[in-house]
Structure 1
């Protein structure tokens, strides 16, 4: 397991992450990219804990996602199955689990202030924290994807499923975008990744 973790997370985090996976009796599956999520946790019918994490994540996002999912497991075990998935119990657990990793030997120095701010009140997804998402993206392999907020008003873009949209105005926190095929309006997070067409 350590050899597998070594391919996906920062070197200085391997021993701590391995100990956490073993202590929590986690069956870790590293899977092909799912666009809608970075990872997930579920308790299997036989009582085992299964966590899946996308193989395509950079090593910093992979580590955060792994700990995020283990926090679900621990919070459910400690507080019961009826807590909110990203409620106060999960946030507290996630903060405690991440604390030993928020260190310059694990994360680059320029990420540390962004991580510290994020973990004061962690969100359901690192993607919904614009500053953290942008900071982590710097460590992704180069791609032809853009964030919605980077696109000019009125530009067209394509989603992973082939739908084509036209970018509209920002309403509070999200952008209104029209799907060109149906004329329906959808709201997009500013840091949703899309393919710019024109």
Structure 2
């Protein structure tokens, strides 16, 4: 476990993370990229608990995602199976587990104020926190992906499944975009990652 995790999280966080994982019935698996999630937690039929994390995450996003999923495990153990997945019990557990990591030995100084603000009321996904998501993205490997909120009005973009959309106006929290093939309107989260289609490539 130690050798596997040390390649994915900040070195200064390793010992504390390992202490959180000292459970005989908790299994950690590192998966190939999944487009719809960074990680997940589930109770397996054999009674063990499993956490999976995408292998392509940068070390800071990996750590946040791992603690997010450990918080699901801890809140299940403490409060039982009938709590809301991202309800108050999970939020408080996530805050408690994450607090020791929120220091400059683990995270870069430019991330700390954004993390402090985010963890006053953590959301189901850090991707819904636009400033934090953008700040975390700077540590990703270079790619052709961009956030929906960065796509210019009227430009075209492609989803991972190949569907092409035209960028529209912003509603209250989401962007109204038209699927080119069908003409149907869809609402997009500002932090959805898409591939911008340059004019010369259309």
TM over 0.5: yes
**Residues 149-160 of structure 1: matches in 2 within 5 Å?**
149-160=149-160
Q: Partner of 1:154: helix, strand, or coil?
A: coil
Partner secondary structure for residue 46 of structure 1: coil
What is the match of residue 18 of structure 2?
18
SS of 1:153's equivalent? coil
Matched with 2:107 is 107
CA contact (8 A) 2:25 2:47 kept: no
Alpha-carbon distance in structure 2 between the residues aligned to 1:26 and 1:111: 30
Looking at structure 2, the residues matched to 137 and 150 of structure 1 have their Cα atoms a distance apart, in angstroms, of 13
| Aligned-pair CA distance for 1:26 | 1.9
Structure 2 residues not aligned, in runs of 5+: none
What is residue 8 of structure 1 aligned with on the other side?
8
TM-score by length of 2: 0.96
TM-score when scaled to structure 1?
0.98
Within 5 Å, give how 1:8-157 maps onto structure 2.
Answer: 8-23=8-23, 25-157=25-157
1:8 match: secondary structure: coil
User: How many residues are matched?
Assistant: 198
Measured after TM superposition, the shift of residue 25 of structure 1 is: 3.8
Q: Secondary structure at the match of 2:178?
A: strand
Secondary structure of 2:7's match? helix
Pairwise CA RMSD of aligned residues? 0.9
Q: State the distance in 1 between where 2:100 and 2:50 align.
A: 23
Gaps of 5+ in 1: none
Runs of 4+ more than 3 Å apart = none
Q: Report how far residue 163 of structure 1 moved.
A: 0.3
